[in-house]
Amino acid sequence: MAMNDSPSATPTAPRPRVFTAALIVIGDEILSGRTHDKNIAQVAIWLGVQGIRLREVRVVADDTAAIVEAVNALRARNDYLFTTGGIGPTHDDITVDAVAEALGVAVEVHPEARTILEGYYATRGGLTEARLRMARMPQGSSLIPNRYSGAPGIRWNNIFLMAGVPNITAGMLDGLSGTLEGGQPLLSETVGCWVAESEIAELLRTTEKAHEGCQIGSYPFFREGKTGANFVIRSVDAALLATCTQALVAGLVAAGRDPVPGGI
What residues make contact with a copy of itself under the rule CB under 8 A? 25, 28-38, 40-45, 47-48, 53-62, 66, 88-92, 124-125, 128-131, 133-134, 148-149, 165, 186, 188, 196-199, 201-202, 204-205, 208, 215-222, 232, 234
| CA 237/CA 72 separation, integer angstroms | 33
**Phi and psi, residue 82, nearest 5°:** -115, 145
**Phi and psi, residue 243, nearest 5°:** -60, -45
Could you tell me the smallest distance in angstroms from the CB atom of residue 234 to a copy of itself?
8
Nearer to a copy of itself, 149 or 158 (CB): 149
**Phi and psi, residue 124, nearest 5°:** -125, 35
Nearer to a copy of itself, 62 or 156 (CB): 62
Q: Using an 8 Å Cβ cutoff, are 83 and 24 in contact?
A: yes
Strand-pair partners of 192 = 230, 260
Could you tell me the smallest distance in angstroms from the CB atom of residue 140 to a copy of itself?
25
Q: Using an 8 Å Cβ cutoff, are 203 and 211 in contact?
A: no
Q: Using an 8 Å Cβ cutoff, are 156 and 108 in contact?
A: no
Could you tell me the smallest distance in angstroms from the CB atom of residue 36 to a copy of itself?
5
Could you tell me the smallest distance in angstroms from the CB atom of residue 33 to a copy of itself?
3
Nearer to a copy of itself, 53 or 155 (CB): 53
111 residue type, one letter: P
Nearer to a copy of itself, 57 or 154 (CB): 57
Could you tell me the smallest distance in angstroms from the CB atom of residue 70 to a copy of itself?
9
- Of 87, 79, 85, 142, nearest to 110 by C-alpha is 142
Nearer to a copy of itself, 156 or 160 (CB): 160
In the chain, the N- to C-terminal Cα span, in Å, equals 38
Could you tell me the smallest distance in angstroms from the CB atom of residue 242 to a copy of itself?
19
Nearer to a copy of itself, 25 or 159 (CB): 25
